[in-house]
């Protein structure tokens, strides 16, 4: 996306051009930091086989328990907590400062994983230290997601907020792809024995060091003008009552649930499912998945721009309708041929991209400035933990007992909730965030 497109392509006054230049600089800093945050987060899954071999003893029940907690629970459980902790920081000390802290925490956790001695050297302490590192990653990731959503929405021009918001999941997708590509590069450079011994550590060290670059960019970023204005002249508004909070909760859950299930089913878990359940060649599955993700990179800014033209409500409605219609053909198309994964995952990702392109701004537009970082961080992370974290297991379990259609029905029901959300939300396209004071 060029600066002219992001800025709206208009001939602005000198003061406006300076302000827009600062916003674009901040957008780049947020996008690079978000990319590296997801790169570090994804590395854990990419190198899970090496972590299990180095930090856990299969015959030790205590270590096995820690392994289960670390891999399946801690990261997701910590994310809502991180959303609360860093969300409060974001509302009190500013979005920029909080994003510097979350990036520092994620980078430190990655370096920690790279340096932890093996189980053979320090025993169960290796498992415990990995658990702590993953906990720190989960806290940082939960805080990063929520505060960065609010930050990008607040620095964006009102008429381009959908397009600017699409940069968030563009950077997310690039971060996930970069972690996958790093795994391919390292496994190509090192023998299996060297990879098991130390090669995987280079991946985490690389991620941690890259975090220093993101920190440099974020220190040069500017605080959200919406946050600064609200701090300088706080508006006198009535506090939200229980009904207001319930409406915000329902709207966010209704349009977030399907998005999270779709992401972890059709992005994160799709290649593994194709390999294990359909017998697809692993190399072919990963290539097909990467190609499908390249396609979605093109769709995200397109849908974000479209949301600025037609509004949020139609986009949420189309996304909900897509969730209702897509699951059955997506499941039916997939066989053991890689091209079927590209096609089925491409369809699923196209539906997900409709909401992902505007998700940061959509959720930010539901919550007033004074509680935005906290509300966005907690609600988005909670939705990921409940719906995203359980989706791969639920899909695999239902497929193993011959009830894969139940999972398709589950996604369709979540699609119906998204349609309801489209009816419930106000149209906020083009409305300055400073004017959005209530969830009603």
Q: How far apart, in whole angstroms, are the C-alpha atoms of residue 147 and residue 168?
A: 12
Q: How far apart, in whole angstroms, are the C-alpha atoms of residue 97 and residue 221?
A: 10
Neighbours of 92 (CB within 10 A): 12
Query: With the C-alpha atoms ordered 153, 426, 415, 82, is the resulting torsion angle positive or negative?
Result: positive
With residues binned 3-state (H G I as helix, E B as strand, rest as coil), the percentages for the chain, rounded to 5, are 85, 0, 15
Q: How far apart, in whole angstroms, are the C-alpha atoms of residue 95 and residue 228?
A: 10
> Model confidence at 60, in pLDDT bands (50, 70, 90)?
low
**Residue 365: CA atoms inside 13 Å, Cβ hemisphere, count?**
21
Q: Kindly report the length of the chain.
A: 440
- pLDDT for 112 beyond 90: yes
Determine if residue 377 is left, alpha or beta; phi over 0 gives left, psi from -120 to 50 gives alpha, anything else beta.
alpha
- Looking at residues 371-393, what average pLDDT do you find? 83
- Looking at residues 375-403, what average pLDDT do you find? 83
Q: How far apart, in whole angstroms, are the C-alpha atoms of residue 406 and residue 199?
A: 41
- pLDDT for 226 beyond 90: no
- pLDDT for 304 beyond 90: yes
The pLDDT score that the predictor gives to residue 64 is 55
The pLDDT score that the predictor gives to residue 16 is 60
- Looking at residues 85-107, what average pLDDT do you find? 85
The pLDDT score that the predictor gives to residue 12 is 46
Query: Do 416 and 324 form a contact (C-beta atoms < 8 A)?
Result: yes
- Looking at residues 415-420, what average pLDDT do you find? 96
Q: How far apart, in whole angstroms, are the C-alpha atoms of residue 272 and residue 253?
A: 27
Q: Is 319 helix (H, G, I), strand (E, B) or coil?
A: helix
> Model confidence at 11, in pLDDT bands (50, 70, 90)?
very low
> Model confidence at 116, in pLDDT bands (50, 70, 90)?
very high
Query: Do 369 and 227 form a contact (C-beta atoms < 8 A)?
Result: yes
- Looking at residues 98-117, what average pLDDT do you find? 90
- Looking at residues 358-369, what average pLDDT do you find? 86
Q: pTM of this prediction?
A: 0.81
Q: How far apart, in whole angstroms, are the C-alpha atoms of residue 176 and residue 218?
A: 21
Task: Of 71, 396, 440, 3, give the one whose Cα is nearest residue 237.
Answer: 440
The pLDDT score that the predictor gives to residue 349 is 92
- For 363-419, the three-class secondary structure string (H helix, E strand, C coil) is HHCCCCHHHHHHHHHHHHHHHHHHHHCCHHHHHHHHHHCCCHHHHHHHHHHHHHHHH
- Looking at residues 182-202, what average pLDDT do you find? 87
Q: How far apart, in whole angstroms, are the C-alpha atoms of residue 437 and residue 440?
A: 9
Q: C-alpha dihedral over 339, 345, 351, 356, to 10 degrees?
A: -130
The pLDDT score that the predictor gives to residue 49 is 72
Query: Do 334 and 274 form a contact (C-beta atoms < 8 A)?
Result: yes
What is the token pair recorded at 430? 């083009």
- Looking at residues 21-28, what average pLDDT do you find? 76
- pLDDT for 440 beyond 50: no
- pLDDT for 344 beyond 80: yes
Query: Do 341 and 274 form a contact (C-beta atoms < 8 A)?
Result: yes
> Model confidence at 300, in pLDDT bands (50, 70, 90)?
very high
Report the share of the chain in percent with pLDDT over 70: 86
- pLDDT for 7 beyond 80: no
The pLDDT score that the predictor gives to residue 205 is 92
- pLDDT for 350 beyond 90: yes
Query: Do 377 and 84 form a contact (C-beta atoms < 8 A)?
Result: yes
The pLDDT score that the predictor gives to residue 210 is 82
- Looking at residues 379-386, what average pLDDT do you find? 85
| Greatest mean pLDDT among 53-62, 189-198, 201-210, 353-362 | 353-362
| Tokens 């701004």 found at | 361
> Model confidence at 265, in pLDDT bands (50, 70, 90)?
confident
Q: C-alpha dihedral over 409, 142, 363, 167, to 10 degrees?
A: -100
Instruction: Give the mean pLDDT of the chain.
Output: 82
Q: How far apart, in whole angstroms, are the C-alpha atoms of residue 74 and residue 79?
A: 9
């Amino acid at each position: 996306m060029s600066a002219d497109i992001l800025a709206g392509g208009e001939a602005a006054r000198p003061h406006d051009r300076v302000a827009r230049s600062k916003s674009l600089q901040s957008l780049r800093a947020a996008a690079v930091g978000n990319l590296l945050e997801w790169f570090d987060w994804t590395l854990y899954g990419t190198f899970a086989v090496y972590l299990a071999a180095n930090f856990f003893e299969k015959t030790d029940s205590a270590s096995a328990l820690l392994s289960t907690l670390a891999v399946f629970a801690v990261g997701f459980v910590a994310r809502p907590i991180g959303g609360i902790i860093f969300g409060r920081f974001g509302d009190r000390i500013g979005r920029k400062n909080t994003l510097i802290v979350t990036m520092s925490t994620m980078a430190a956790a990655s370096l920690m994983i790279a340096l932890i001695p093996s189980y053979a050297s320090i025993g169960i302490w290796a498992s415990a230290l990995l658990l702590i590192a993953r906990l720190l990653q989960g806290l940082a990731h939960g805080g990063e997601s929520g505060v960065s959503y609010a930050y990008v929405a607040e620095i964006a021009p009102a008429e381009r907020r959908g397009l600017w918001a699409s940069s968030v999941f563009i950077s997310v997708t690039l971060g996930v792809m970069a972690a996958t590509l790093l795994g391919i590069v390292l496994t190509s450079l090192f023998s299996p024995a060297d990879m098991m011994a130390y090669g995987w550590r280079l991946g985490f060290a690389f991620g941690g060091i890259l975090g220093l670059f993101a920190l440099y960019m974020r220190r040069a970023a500017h605080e959200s003008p919406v946050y600064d204005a609200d701090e300088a002249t706080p508006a006198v508004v009535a506090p939200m009552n229980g009904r207001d909070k319930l409406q915000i909760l329902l709207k966010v859950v209704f349009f977030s649930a399907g998005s999270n299930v779709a992401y972890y089913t059709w992005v994160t878990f799709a290649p593994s499912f194709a390999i294990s359940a359909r017998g697809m060649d692993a190399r072919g599955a990963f290539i097909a998945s990467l190609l499908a993700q390249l396609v979605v990179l093109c769709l995200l800014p397109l849908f974000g721009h479209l949301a600025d033209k037609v509004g949020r409500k139609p986009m949420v409605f189309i996304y909900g309708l897509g969730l209702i219609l897509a699951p059955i053909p997506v499941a039916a198309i997939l066989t053991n041929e890689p091209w079927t994964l590209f096609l089925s995952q491409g369809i699923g990702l196209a539906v997900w991209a409709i909401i992902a392109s505007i998700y940061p701004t959509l959720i930010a537009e539901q919550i007033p400035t004074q509680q935005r970082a906290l509300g966005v961080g907690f609600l988005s992370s909670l939705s990921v933990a409940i719906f995203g974290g359980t989706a791969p297991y639920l899909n695999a379990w239902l497929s193993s007992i011959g009830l894969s259609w139940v999972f398709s029905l589950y996604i369709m029901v979540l699609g119906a909730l998204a349609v309801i959300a489209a009816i419930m939300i106000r149209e906020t396209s083009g409305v300055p965030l400073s004017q959005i004071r209530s969830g009603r």
